[in-house]
Amino acid sequence: MRFIKCKFSIVALLFFLAFNPENCFSDQNDVYIAKISSSINPGVVDYIKGGIQKASEHNASCIIIEIDTPGGLAESMREIVMAILGSKVPVVVYVSPSGARAASAGVMITMAAHIAAMAPGTNIGAAHPVGAGGKEIGETISEKLINDMVAHAKSIAEKRGRNAVWVEKAIRESVSVTETEALEENVIDIIANDLDDLINKINGRRIEDKWILKLDNANKIILKETLRTKILKTISDPNIAYILMMIGLAGLYFELSQPGAVFPGVIGAISLILAFFAFQTLPVNYAGFLLIILSIIFFIMEMKITSYGLLSIAGIASLLLGSLMLFESSAPGLRLSWTVFVPTVVIVSAFFVAVAGFVFKAQFSKPKTGAKGLVGEIGVAKTDIKPEGKVFVHGELWNATSKDIIEQGKKVRVVKLVGLVLEVEPID
């Protein structure tokens, strides 16, 4: 009887395991590795969610996310956190290499991992939220936002069994700690020197009574970014977004000044659309954007109105201030680089000032064609003018009249044009 019960228990156990694959161990020991070394933006979201899905589909042992980020967008961070919490495979977040950090949004992503690890010489923290342009938010809105983020962070920390008190301080007080302090504060689980050391230390680790990591001779698979992810990440860079905006404005200017050129207008429209998409994913200060638009308007007005350079000076000032205000963030990855900002402002300003100079010169230069272009021109009398005759002026033979008698071969100056007859005078 006992033998029958034992056989029944074994069969029941096998049946339970067969229909609960999440409690089984994968025959494979593949370790998928994703790397984040930028701000958290929609491109990174696409990359991480795709990597977690791929690891789940191939029944990988786990996915390791190497992270080095100054922070990023709250919505993008929430999407990544949700993907980690809903992952069907264990997710390990590793702040690496030495010198890297998991700041702001990176804190939440690290806390959401099944296993959180850091390399020596790294730090984590400073998760206080900031508004567009990196500036402080209004007191009422700030309080609501901070309370919401604290509640979200504490729920994640409690779910993973980590220090919820420290997470709250990281958000409210911008606290930041080293890897050693993070381990002591129960913020992370492991300190690992490198990727191989990390895999060795998590090998055999039990996670939430669901998985036991079997990583002997682990097969490391680096997740590559798709073309879509690369495009999203590229245009989400503030420097690329800024350049796209300037190209778009320049293209539309050329199309409006020279209708029918088509190519500048097409390139300008595409660039502006991509720039506007990037602005939705970046902390943009729209006062800066409007100042840049105003600068272009000033430059165009300089070509239409004689302001003796005042509009050009106003345009340069607006462009300079707008560019400075456009991406003013506390995070380096979300600021406009000086190596992009300075050359762009100089080139654009120099171009419009040069064009305005040519227009100003043309407005005050002597006409070269038409009736006004002939006045003052020097010619030669081809016949005697008594008082009518013919003169050769400006490469053409004209009928001419004069108040004075002019002999053939003498030089004459055009006084005015009456119909198709020139009135000339002799040159002594």
Q: Catalytic amino acids?
A: 104, 144
User: From CA 418, how far away is CA 375, in angstroms rounded?
Assistant: 11
User: From CA 90, how far away is CA 214, in angstroms rounded?
Assistant: 12
What's the token pair of residue 28? Answer: 């494979």
| Rounded CA Rg of the chain | 36
391 within 8 A of 424, measured Cβ to Cβ: yes
User: From CA 148, how far away is CA 151, in angstroms rounded?
Assistant: 5
- CB atoms under 10 Å from CB of 405, counted, come to 12
- Measured on CA atoms in the order 16, 17, 21, 22, is the torsion positive or negative? positive
What's the token pair of residue 392? Answer: 């050769």
Strands (E), 192-268: 206-207, 211-212, 219-222
User: From CA 261, how far away is CA 363, in angstroms rounded?
Assistant: 25
**Helix, strand, coil fractions of the chain, as percent rounded to 5:** 50, 20, 30
276 within 8 A of 293, measured Cβ to Cβ: no
Give bridge partners of residue 95 from the DSSP assignment: 67, 118
Nearest to 182 by CA among 196, 197, 192: 192
> CA dist 293 to 283, 310, 353, Å?
18, 17, 16
Residue type at position 266: V
What's the token pair of residue 161? Answer: 């069994």
Q: Any idea which residue has 């996310």 for tokens?
A: 65
- The angle subtended at Cα 11 by Cα 9 and Cα 15, nearest 5°, is 115
Who's near 308: CB < 8 A, 6+ residues apart?
A: none
236 within 8 A of 41, measured Cβ to Cβ: yes
User: From CA 284, how far away is CA 325, in angstroms rounded?
Assistant: 9
